Amino acid sequence: EQHGEAPAVVAKPKKAALPAPVKPAIEKSPTATRLAVFGDSMAVDLAKALDRFYAEDPNIVVVNQGVGSSGFVRPDFFDWDKAAAEQVAANSFDIAIMIVGINDRQSLKTADQSLKALTPEWSAIYQQRVASFVSAIRNANKPIVWVGLPPMSKSDYSNAIGQISSIQRLAVFAGGAEFVDIYDRYIGEDGKYTSFGPDLNGNRVRMRKDDGIHFSAAGADKLAYLLSQSI
């Protein structure tokens, strides 16, 4: 029989917080447009790519507000609607970018029930939460560019993520905000998921990480370029 301490169990923190801003490499103008990138780990990768894209531009500063594992299903872990209201109140940004949803294919708990992902009841609450995030930002007269989700390598997961993206699109359009559909930019010629694709120079490179979900640096750079046209 072994004695000694039991191994430490590291519990996932109940709450997540927005990351602290990073100091940019080049001196940004005091009046630079502040671009906040909200969302989950996809947003973290996108913020890095936008940072690279605007690295030499003194008039745009990118603020990474991505929170890994977050979404609109688990406000107990991180509450995006609350965060939107707080960031608006703090006037911490000028333009919002949002990409989120890869963690949202899970049951949603309300006060009295647990709703299975993508049921009509689940979808109604999900759409409501997205709508309230959009209106918090729109009511402050700040533009928001909502980015749809790309295809995923596992087909059942990809279908679910496609449905989640469609719910987001409805709520975003209804809220008078811009929705950028990127799905077609990350599919192969057969119309299905591919981890490779043309980069900004037309070279065929790996666009996605090995998990079949996240963007590679080249995939995120391509998205940053697509978004720069909306911004």
pLDDT digits (tens, 9 = 90+) for 40-56: 999 999 999 999 999 99
pLDDT band, residue 23 (cuts 50/70/90): confident
What pLDDT sits at residue 1?
46
Rounded mean pLDDT of 156-170? 98
> In this model, does residue 2 exceed pLDDT 60?
no
> In this model, does residue 106 exceed pLDDT 80?
yes
> In this model, does residue 118 exceed pLDDT 50?
yes
pTM (predicted TM-score) = 0.90
What pLDDT sits at residue 167?
98
Return d(Cα 80, Cα 70) in angstroms, integer: 8
Identify the residue whose tokens are 């605007």: 54
What pLDDT sits at residue 25?
72
Mean pLDDT for the chain overall: 93
Question: Which CA distances in Å does 150 have to 159, 174, 181?
Answer: 11, 21, 8
